[in-house]
Structure 1
Amino acid sequence: MSDMKGGNVVVIEALRALHKVGALDNTSIAVMFTGDEEDAGDPKEVSRGDMIALAKKSDIALAFEGTVLDKEGRATATVGRRSSSAFALEVRGKQGHSSGIFSERAGYGAVYEAARILDGFRQQVIEPDLTFNPGVILGGTQVGYDEAGSRGTAFGKTNVIANTVTVKGDLRYLDTVQRDRAHARMRAIVAQNLPGTSASIAFEESYPPMAVTPGNLKVLELYSQASSDAGLGAIAAVPAGLRGAGDIQFVAPYVDSLDGIGATGSGAHSPLEDLELASIERAAIRTAIFLYRLTR
């Protein structure tokens, strides 16, 4: 629909128009469609290896995820995207009778320690375009988490101090400097344990960030000019912090890139997702003119 499938149609229609007038002669335009819905699989060096190899031989990379509209209803494009990564927090406490909670002998238990850590993140790690979301939390005296199914079980009793908490969450950042700063702050908070507890945190990278670069902004300038010349209005950059992860992030470190130039709709990733059919024509016109100028 509007999120990605509409963009596939935009690509085909733009190339069809160029082919019809002979504008593809003596050009080299590579097109890659993936059917995994951005569930790349590991190791990503293999699952996205062909994509990266192609980028290294190219001048620019374009991705056709859905176009985001600004507050005035005007089309935008994406010159930067935040990463997609994960954190796993493991907390331990001393199991014992609940009547001893807070004592020197029993300590505070795993649940209080987990609550302290997560609230510490909320208060001390906040900065623009950085988010971290604890999506799953399990605590008690027996905890099990199924990584593949993203589900778990927990057992505990109200009169027993919990000895285990597991937290799974995601972490999104704009660049590696912001990532390293967040990691350092989070590790420092995790290390300030309440009495009778211990904790550890681990991070896992998924999608690298797509930094806003002068090259990406230049591609946007040329694309916006093509749109204006077609009578479709200028195209501004959507704030990088508003976009989630996308496959273009695997190639952006190697080539100037632009994303979010596909179709327009609403309700992405929901049963109510829809598509504005006329947006396919507008996007195809912009893309055809843009590609024609690039190849000349």
Structure 2
Amino acid sequence: MLRTLLPAFALLAATPAAAQLSKQEAAITAAIDKENDRTLTLLERMVNQNSGTLNLAGVRTMGEMLRPEFEALGFKVDWIELPETKRAGHFVATHKGNGRGKRMLLIAHVDTVFEASSPFQKFVREGDKAVGPGVVDDKGGIAVIVAALRAMQAAGTLKNADIMVMFTGDEEKTGDPIPVARRDLIEAGKWADVALEFENLAKEDGKEFGTVARRSANNWTLTATGKTGHGGSVFTPSLGYGAIYEITRILNAWRSELIEENLTFNVGVIAGGTPASIDADGVKVEAAGKTNVIPAQAIARGDLRSLTPEQDAAARAKMLAIAAQHLPGTSATLTFQDNTPPMAPTDGNRALLTRINAINRDLGLPEMAEFPPAKRGAADSSFVAAYADTLAGMGPVGGTLHAEGEWLEVPSIALQAKRAAILMSRLAREKR
């Protein structure tokens, strides 16, 4: 009865956008809605399976759980073992199409931050909200991928699509050495024309955003040394300033000279004294000292995040130059550890967001602006962004990531699956 009360112009205004969908795309949206309960059942099964990064058996079980889902869709499924990284490995599924359309790489991860010892272990449905470990990061993203591919199969758009799916098993705590841990993902990026990453969709103040860029996440270690001796002789030509003044000089100079948009260099841990040391993992420091003793050692460790390779290189050069300007009687050494490269905001990435916004218009949805990269963490998409046009944040909406109470907006699974399936169907028709 409510429909009959709407004015005629309102009905006309509500329908044109949906009319832009092709018959196959309309079939995709219908299939996703029809399969909604099935998708949620899969999500619940995944969330109830612990797959903390260091629970290697649990991570592998996730792979076995997903194998039949992808084999039923015509994918060839493999598990890449990486024992040298002390991690479980990666899930890979490949679908061969007609070889003429865009090659697409779909990225997510089967591991979570919640290990088997965590008290947060179960999926709970609360109306349009679901709570559980990894429910949005990133098992909700996997649910979106499966729902999208099922709908493409139902609508007939999957058969000609060339798609590779890679679910890493160590996104939350990447194995070492990183070049080995991410070797296969990088090769997949080189194969692909387009990469879609299915971590959570960015949403603020009720508005959804597209992620065309992510900053890097690398580490640095700064070590300063000084001449030790009686504290009453500090600043003298014979003993100099000591290690703590030297490391403080360097850190303060970075703060005053390097800060710029999208560049951060957090100091995570610091210690100084006689002696001072840091453990092999770079997370625990020890130091001892007396007020009347000039400190011999000082150590600081932190991260470095940048938006582009050029910004990263320039920051490192400045940091090294500042570290080399020693106070009298001191020295300093700065080293960098490469972890995750930046996903720069390229024209190709932005073109993918333009495509998503075209789909939004066809679905009668608002357009999405670019999400500020400084508000997102690093992710696996950064490892392929140098080789393929990449769009991140294709997963569902959620929050409280990496903490008990992690949640997901249930309706966003279907919405994101529709966007992804229509985008992939259109890309599959385009010539490489």
Instruction: Output one character per residue of 1:130-159: Cα deviation in whole Å (capped at 9) or x when no partner.
Output: 000110111110122113262121111222
The reply on whether 1:60 has 2:197 as its aligned counterpart is no
1:117 alignment counterpart: 250
| Alpha-carbon separation, structure 1, partners of 2:296 and 2:264 | 28
The reply on whether 1:11 has 2:114 as its aligned counterpart is no
Q: After the TM superposition, which residues 270-281 of structure 1 pair with which residues of structure 2 at under 5 Å, given as runs?
A: 270-281=403-414
The reply on whether 1:78 has 2:246 as its aligned counterpart is no
2:109 alignment counterpart: none
| Alpha-carbon separation, structure 1, partners of 2:180 and 2:250 | 36
Are the aligned partners of 1:3 and 1:263 in contact in 2 as well (CA < 8 Å)?
A: no
CA radius of gyration, larger in: 2
Greater than 6 Å deviation, 4+ residue runs = none
> Displacement, 1:231?
2.3
Unaligned residue ranges in structure 1 (runs of 5+) = none
Are the aligned partners of 2:161 and 2:425 in contact in 1 as well (CA < 8 Å)?
A: no
Give the TM-score of the pair, scaled to structure 1: 0.95
2:399 alignment counterpart: 266
> Displacement, 1:186?
1.2
Are the aligned partners of 1:76 and 1:261 in contact in 2 as well (CA < 8 Å)?
A: no
Aligned residue among 365, 371, 380 for 1:247: 380
Q: Tell me the amino acid that sits aligned with residue 236 of structure 1.
A: A
Q: After the TM superposition, which residues 1-296 of structure 1 pair with which residues of structure 2 at under 5 Å, given as runs?
A: 1-70=135-204, 72-148=205-281, 150-296=283-429
> Displacement, 1:22?
2.4
> Displacement, 1:278?
1.4
Are the aligned partners of 1:144 and 1:154 in contact in 2 as well (CA < 8 Å)?
A: yes
Are the aligned partners of 2:241 and 2:328 in contact in 1 as well (CA < 8 Å)?
A: yes
| Alpha-carbon separation, structure 2, partners of 1:242 and 1:155 | 38
| Alpha-carbon separation, structure 1, partners of 2:182 and 2:167 | 12
| Alpha-carbon separation, structure 2, partners of 1:215 and 1:37 | 24
- Report SS of the residue matched to 2:350: helix
Instruction: Output one character per residue of 1:150-207: Cα deviation in whole Å (capped at 9) or x when no partner.
Output: 2121111222111100111111111122112211211221122222111121112111
Instruction: Output one character per residue of 1:109-149: Cα deviation in whole Å (capped at 9) or x when no partner.
Output: 11111111111110011111100011011111012211326
Are the aligned partners of 1:82 and 1:240 in contact in 2 as well (CA < 8 Å)?
A: yes
Q: Percent identity?
A: 46
CA distance 1:272–1:101, shift in 2 (3 Å): farther
Are the aligned partners of 2:171 and 2:379 in contact in 1 as well (CA < 8 Å)?
A: no
Are the aligned partners of 2:217 and 2:341 in contact in 1 as well (CA < 8 Å)?
A: yes
The size of the alignment, in residue pairs, is: 295
| Alpha-carbon separation, structure 2, partners of 1:148 and 1:12 | 37
- Report SS of the residue matched to 2:401: coil
> Displacement, 1:47?
1.6
Are the aligned partners of 1:226 and 1:289 in contact in 2 as well (CA < 8 Å)?
A: yes
User: Does 275-284 or 230-239 show the bigger shift?
Assistant: 230-239
Instruction: Output one character per residue of 1:72-102: Cα deviation in whole Å (capped at 9) or x when no partner.
Output: 4211121111111111111011111111122
> Displacement, 1:250?
0.8
> Displacement, 1:30?
1.4
- Report SS of the residue matched to 2:256: helix
> Displacement, 1:240?
2.2
User: Does 283-292 or 45-54 show the bigger shift?
Assistant: 45-54
Instruction: Output one character per residue of 1:25-62: Cα deviation in whole Å (capped at 9) or x when no partner.
Output: 22222111112134332333322222122222222110
Instruction: Output one character per residue of 1:205-257: Cα deviation in whole Å (capped at 9) or x when no partner.
Output: 11111111111111111112112211232122112232221101111111111
| Alpha-carbon separation, structure 1, partners of 2:160 and 2:319 | 53
- Report SS of the residue matched to 1:226: helix
| Alpha-carbon separation, structure 2, partners of 1:46 and 1:102 | 48
| Alpha-carbon separation, structure 1, partners of 2:240 and 2:179 | 45
Give the TM-score of the pair, scaled to structure 2: 0.66
- Report SS of the residue matched to 1:131: coil
| Alpha-carbon separation, structure 1, partners of 2:280 and 2:305 | 20
Unaligned residue ranges in structure 2 (runs of 5+) = 1-134
User: Does 116-125 or 264-273 show the bigger shift?
Assistant: 264-273
